[in-house]
Amino acid sequence: MTDSGFNIIKFLKSAVATGASDEHLKVGHPPYLRKNGFIMKTNMPNLSKEDLDRAILEIAPSAIKNDILSLCDLDFMYEIDGFSRFRINYNRQIGMPSLVIRNISYNISKLKDLSLPEILHSIVEAPNGIVLVTGPTGSGKSTTIASLIDYINMTSQKHIITIEDPIEYIFNCKRSIVSQRQIGVDTKSFADGIKYSLRQDPDVIFIGEIRDKETMEAALKAAETGHLVLSTLHTNDAIQTINRVINMFDESNRYIIRKQLAETLRATIAQKLVYSEKEKKRFPVCEIMVVTSTIKDYINKDNTDEIYSLINDNTIDNMISLNLSLAELVHKGAITEEEALEQSNDTPELEKIFRGVYNGTKAYYE
């Protein structure tokens, strides 16, 4: 295959200008973009191995340039100064190099610009405890978390520590101090980062992702000792989130973990993005669970299946189900009923909401 003369910097600038969120580069294929959630093939020439090798060496951190082409999997950040940041995943496919790139804007959006409910601000005003933002890959978790951290940064006089792999959004210190630490560069692991952050006078600790029992244990300890902990999980709703946390631990320890989680969990925010054909853009919908005394009791007693009815019926504590969030977007004219039904986890219930027979709908829209 002939060398196409692929220029990674020029390509990334062009991709960002089109509004793409991700780029996929693999040998023997033209570059692909993800825009509004959909993969799109470009009309560029097929990429050769030489194209990919040259691109990787151009954007790789200097400390690993000599070794990267012999590695199999690696995440790192790249920045085109004054233009954009990029989260790079270097991987191999059938022995050939490949890149998957996520665009990270310099600008941190406010909740209203993201079409997210302002109630999320009050959730992160809690003095301590754990707030979990959940959802599948590409559901906007990082963007939501960045908005919430920036809100704390602008409105409070606190020390915010982020522990990330790798660092995505860059925060300038405003009313708060923001310290950002990267796994493999500034600390060995998430668990170590949390452990040592407790000696760094923190008020808020953001953990990029809770992947294992050790990180969860450290997060619970941080919350128990009076800190607000923000983190993410790849779960789809509140009940799944609670069960995922508890099931990280051996059965003999789950009673203690349920008690710890019941005492420290403040809220879960499960998010997904819905594409609007009319608006040609995606809108976030979310299930918000705020931990009340009743929900705390359900977690303690392992009655998590009872929680959904409280989320669905409770508007006093600013909770909302995914279906009511979808219905609100339909009510505003942002998406159609058909687009909402495609994203629902319970289509019969959502159809009832549209017919106005669901008992929580009237209270929600008033």
Task: Tell me: do 170 and 272 sit in the same domain.
Answer: yes
Tokens representing 121 are 């601000």
Q: What CATH number has the domain bearing residue 54?
A: 3.30.450.90
The pLDDT of residue 158: 98
Task: Tell me: do 22 and 141 sit in the same domain.
Answer: no
Q: List the Cα angle 156/162/167 in 5-degree steps.
A: 130
Please state, in angstroms and rounded to a whole number, the distance separating the CA atoms of residues 98 and 234. 24
Task: Tell me: do 133 and 149 sit in the same domain.
Answer: yes
Using the 3D structure, point to which of 104, 123, 145 is the last residue of a domain: 104
Please state, in angstroms and rounded to a whole number, the distance separating the CA atoms of residues 295 and 60. 47
Task: Tell me: do 171 and 139 sit in the same domain.
Answer: yes
Task: Tell me: do 82 and 166 sit in the same domain.
Answer: no
Helix, strand, coil shares of the chain, percent, nearest 5, are 40, 25, 35
The pLDDT of residue 361: 45
Asked if the structure places residue 294 within a domain, the reply is: yes
The pLDDT of residue 364: 42
Place of tokens 């796994």: 183
The pLDDT of residue 14: 96
Task: Tell me: do 100 and 221 sit in the same domain.
Answer: no
Query: Which residue ranges in the chain fall short of pLDDT 50?
Result: 1-3, 359-366
pLDDT in tens, 305-364: 999 999 988 666 789 999 999 999 999 999 999 999 999 999 999 999 998 855 444 444
Provide the residue range defining the domain that includes 151.
Answer: 112-320
Asked if the structure places residue 325 within a domain, the reply is: no
pLDDT in tens, 154-192: 999 999 999 999 999 999 999 999 999 999 999 999 999
- Residue 148 three-state SS: helix
